[in-house]
């Protein structure tokens, strides 16, 4: 499979390669897989430039949550390099003033030594209510937050707060595009997904049931199925 299309996976906020771990064996069988490093810059433009510099010449791109915001920026900078696009639990809209205020509060608490408490606050909205007491999932989230670290978390929050509105980009996307969301996502509500599929020609929507914001960890088999269908499209 030397001619297989490379796949670049972009994690979300405070997420590390661990978020994609349950999917990697299945995805790896279909071609080279790279997990992008998105913790070194404090703007979407800077993150996207660095990922593009390190990525294969042409690739399939899947972004989860903040990774979707980065994917939109990659589509601004180099759409010709993206053969396929998958947008998982993300949105095209910029932050609302209320969301920005919440982020600034988290930044202040993290800077003041409350990073773990901030991660616990995020965890509360990350998973389906039926998994809120799942200690192993919560430990993975804490481990990922440790992988990212406080300073990178602050850079990520700045990038997310200052990201542009990506809705004008949607109609220019011409590659096969999967939009995946979950019925109980309390971080990026599923109601925001149809506006992406409505605007992106040739795109399709997958809604996972009984799942929150972390489908790779909560419902890995269903997420793999959706991504493999996308890669075959």
Q: What tens digit of pLDDT does each residue of 53-92 get?
A: 999 999 999 999 999 999 999 999 999 999 999 999 999 9
Is pLDDT of 2 > 60?
no
The dotted CATH code for 7-95+158-232 is 3.40.50.1820
What per-residue confidence (pLDDT) applies to 138? 97
Count of alpha carbons within 13 Å of 213, Cβ hemisphere only? Answer: 24
Q: In what order do the strands lie in the sheet with 82-88?
A: 33-35, 7-10, 59-64, 82-88, 177-182, 203-208
- Give the global pTM: 0.97
Contact 10, 64 (CB under 8 A): yes
What per-residue confidence (pLDDT) applies to 129? 95
Contact 38, 66 (CB under 8 A): yes
Mean pLDDT (whole number) for 114-140: 96
Contacts of 85 (CB under 8 A, 6+ apart): 60, 61, 62, 71, 75, 173, 175, 176, 177, 178
Tally: H helices and E strands in the chain:
11, 6
Mean pLDDT (whole number) for 183-205: 97
Give the whole-number percent of the chain exceeding pLDDT 90: 98
Is pLDDT of 125 > 90?
yes
1: pLDDT confidence band, cut at 50, 70 and 90?
very low
Is pLDDT of 44 > 50?
yes
């Amino acid at each position: 499979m030397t001619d297989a299309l490379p796949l670049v996976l972009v994690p979300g906020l405070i997420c590390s390669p661990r978020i994609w771990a349950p999917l990697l064996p299945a995805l790896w069988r279909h071609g080279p897989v790279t997990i992008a490093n998105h913790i070194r810059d404090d703007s979407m433009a800077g993150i996207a430039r660095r990922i593009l510099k390190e990525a294969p010449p042409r690739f399939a791109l899947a972004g989860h949550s903040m990774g979707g915001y980065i994917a939109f920026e990659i589509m601004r900078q180099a759409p010709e390099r993206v053969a396929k696009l998958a947008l998982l639990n993300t949105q095209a809209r910029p932050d609302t003033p209320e969301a920005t205020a919440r982020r600034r509060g988290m930044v202040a608490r993290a800077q003041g030594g409350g990073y773990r408490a901030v991660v616990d606050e995020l965890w509360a909205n990350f998973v389906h209510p039926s998994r809120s007491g799942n200690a192993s999932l919560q430990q993975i989230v804490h481990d990922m937050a440790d992988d990212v670290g406080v300073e990178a978390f602050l850079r990520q929050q700045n990038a997310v707060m200052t990201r542009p509105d990506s809705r004008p980009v949607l109609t220019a996307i011409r590659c096969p595009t999967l939009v995946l969301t979950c019925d109980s996502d309390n971080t990026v509500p599923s109601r925001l997904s149809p506006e992406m599929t409505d605007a992106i020609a040739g795109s399709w929507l997958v809604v996972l049931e009984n799942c929150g914001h972390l489908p790779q960890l909560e419902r890995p088999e269903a997420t793999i199925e959706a991504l493999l269908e996308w890669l075959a499209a």
